[in-house]
Structure 1
């Protein structure tokens, strides 16, 4: 950011996540990842809610990986059974693994939706960890229950019968629970890593009239590869850290700039930007209200109705600029 003219098996879940997943399963399969926020969507003390959205080729690749892993595991168990003298048909091994990955794949969008609600920048780390423990319990229950139901229903089609004896129930829960914990953690981590890897700076053309209206020398330059976009800092509502980038939020759009938040704070301090959180700056001229909660943290309401969370450590910076 420079001055213009001077030298950015897998998972499942149940009722705990259903509220998070309403409408989000569709969002997760379409478009690119983003984070949006507005007055209706955010409560006091909250920031933007993350929504993980991935293109269809990601989902096709994911399904292919699950199928390959399922085939390898089923064939390995089948061959091992043959070596131990318990040889039998291949279909029970294949059906066991297939039932597991079907449930996992079906519940993946729900896990992504739940992970998006548990953004630690919005709700804090303690609530995030508690939410993921609940999500893991829900995931394990639905995964184990769902694949067991599929096996009970499908085994008779092949002339068999599936049942778990009471003496094996605890062992089965422990065995599947360990795998489910790794799968759930891998899904959540994978969602964040994929979102970061696929994120690209937005290409937004600034109307000529807008740049002409800006004060001479008062615009900032956003670099998008070989493209340069000039923005009047007065239009920027707030800025947040996004990995190796900062994301500039303007009315109706956002831009990415490869820069640290600390550097952006130094450059824009004279323009009325103040830090309200370790990962957020706000444009003081767009702050319409500020509300402090019992813990000392606070929420600012911006000119477009957005509510952005701030930390008590930075409260003085906002008050000092009033």
Structure 2
């Protein structure tokens, strides 16, 4: 009798666990259905469209699947697309480097318990809360010589500065500065959180041993924040593909094709020239690149938090 009672008692938690998991699944089904409709369905339609020469210019060949890889072969031979990919790499590396440098530097300066520093941190977070289109309009005003307060200040000082967005040598830098202004607070916030978790004992021990501030920064602080810094860099590298509003409003891909990145080139092919199949193929390649970077972020985050691998 005792063994039977124990067996029945051991079965109760199992059935309760299954019931709870079933309830969780039923609760997630509405959210999964919405996610399927708004995410997977458009992605599938995009992929199918990329396999066709869909074009409003010639509707007779819109859904022709006889040569599904024709768009991708043409992209590999399209010099303008290859140039746009190189421009995207330049812009991504430039913005990530500037954001990490600015965010880390300000995080080190604002790391403290003073009320003044707390208010300063709040002020520096404001650009990240502004919509990208509004940010683009703000920098459109700053870069326009006729109405720019920056140009007015330089003229008052006896200096002159030409329009940065119309100069092929400075247009990409102008985009990078605007993007850095908006998104460096992300790095600032992450590094500040990491600095707040820095143990005080190693720092105090190093100072008692006569280490200078630069040595403490180099040998204790920077190694502590390095994993967070790498994750921030990977996240910002993924988000750097979304600089479309800045390019659309500030330069329109110009002057020439200097600031024309891959997603903007796909936009012009799909909506300016109505080559929807070709533009969809560009979007698929960009999506594949972002997905690959996302896998790197996931793998690195998992390894950095794995206590077994880190020992």
The answer to whether TM tops 0.5 is: no
The alignment's TM-score, normalised by the length of structure 1, stands at 0.25
User: Computing the radius of gyration over CA atoms, which structure comes out larger, 1 or 2?
Assistant: 2
Tell me which of the two structures has the higher relative contact order, counting C-alpha pairs closer than 8 angstroms and 6 or more residues apart: 2
The alignment's TM-score, normalised by the length of structure 2, stands at 0.26
- More helix as a share of residues: 2
- More strand as a share of residues: 1
